[in-house]
Amino acid sequence: MLGEQTTANNVWDSKTQTFHGGQEHRFINNFVEDFSVTTNYLGTPPQALAAAKQAMGEIHHYPAANQEPAKTHLAEFLWGKDYAEQHGRLLMGNGASELIDLVVRKALLAAAERGQTQPTWKGSPWNVQYREYQRSAETNGFKILEPSNPERADMVCIVNPCNPTGDYFSVEPLKEWIKNNVKSGGSVIVDESMQPWHSAEFRKDSLISEHAYARDMWTEEQVSVHVMHSWTKIWSCTGLRIGSVICPTTAHCEALRKIQVPWSVNGPALAFVEAVVNEKDYLNETWENTTRLRAHLIDQLSSLEQSKEWVYHGKKFLSWVWLDMKSEAMAERAIDLARAAGVPVRSGKPGYKCNSFIRVAVRKEAEVAVLIQAWKSL
């Protein structure tokens, strides 16, 4: 980028990378709040942040090769007292992004072993979803099927709840969709990064608790179901990079570890996980307030004179609103106005090609007021 000024638009190399939100704060002098990412409105949990800072004093040592004791703490967070039985199925990574690519690469190897020369890949039934799954499938040579294509695929990846559309399958419809869309012997990723916002009972409506299902899919259909989590959203630590994947069996987990680089989760990130699972008040506050703040955001947006045609998509518990302004020109103006007021939002255009859409994060009332003020002149 020598000689050219870096901006939020050219910070991603469009030839080699996918556009994501979360970069504009670097280029805004009057920055107030980032509405362009789906992170928790509460910001980073304070005790976990302190633990990560303290671990900076240890960075002359390598991090734990087995990701412990952080991984055991995360297993306990996911499964409670039964965690020991499932622990071997859990692998952590440098953000979910690293693990997405690992599982896709493994799925390609599995397809090759089944004699598939051009394996197929399909995303969720919703028109768009978080793009890294498709990007990884494309770069690894999968043939991409349209969401509407009824053909079963060698690999299916569904983001549930779907970022950015906010669509959501509860467990039974999700299982049904998987059954109807993956080939026998195929691979599945269900991305539940946004699912912990569901409620304090989130585990009950999640594949993380469906042990028998994962086992039976594998033993009866040879379908490997993986549950992916990015922990950088619910715990607002995108700069730290923490993800995990639950594999169908311990053997699947070992096969992934074999192609994973060593020490991919750094020391401060491991210390963060160890501490964050104990921050119960933080999650209680998240469940208590996100739905209310999301309703407040929609209420404020609806009060704008220009909003008569706008449509608000997504489940009520989610940390963002997928807003259709029904006009590409208006969406472009809204993005510029938000940026100028120091409250960047995520355009639906780059990556998703949803030109009249904007993704707006749930944030506190005071910051929402700044965005609303900016959009009064739309």
Ligand X SMILES: Cc1ncc(COP(=O)(O)O)c(C=O)c1O
Would you tell me which residues interact with ligand X (CB under 6 A)? 38, 95-97, 130, 159, 163, 191, 193, 230, 232, 238, 243
Beta carbon nearer to ligand X, 177 or 218:
177
- Cβ closer to ligand X: 38 or 224? 38
Q: Tell me if 285 sits within 8 A of 268, measured CB to CB.
A: no
Q: Closer CB to ligand X, residue 80 or residue 239?
A: 239
Cα gap 378→375, rounded to integer Å:
5
For 115-149, give one letter per residue: b (16+ CB within 10 A) or e: ebeebbbbbbebebbbbbbbbbbeebebeebeeee
CB atoms within 10 A of CB 57: 9
Give the nearer residue to ligand X in terms of CB position, either 157 or 330: 157
φ/ψ (deg, to 5) at 121: -135, 140
SS3 state of residue 284:
helix
- Report, in Å, the least distance between residue 233 CB and ligand X: 6
CB 201 to ligand X: min, Å: 21
Shortest Å, Cβ 352 to ligand X: 12
* Smallest gap from residue 103 Cβ to ligand X (A): 12
Instruction: For ligand X, give the closer residue by CB, 166 or 267.
Output: 166
14 class by beta-carbon count within 10 Å (0-12 exposed, 13-18 middle, 19+ buried): exposed
With CB atoms as reference, the residue minimizing the distance to ligand X is: 95
Q: Which residues contact 39 (CB under 8 A, 6 or more apart)?
A: 232, 233, 236, 238, 319, 361
CB of 38 to ligand X, least distance (A): 6
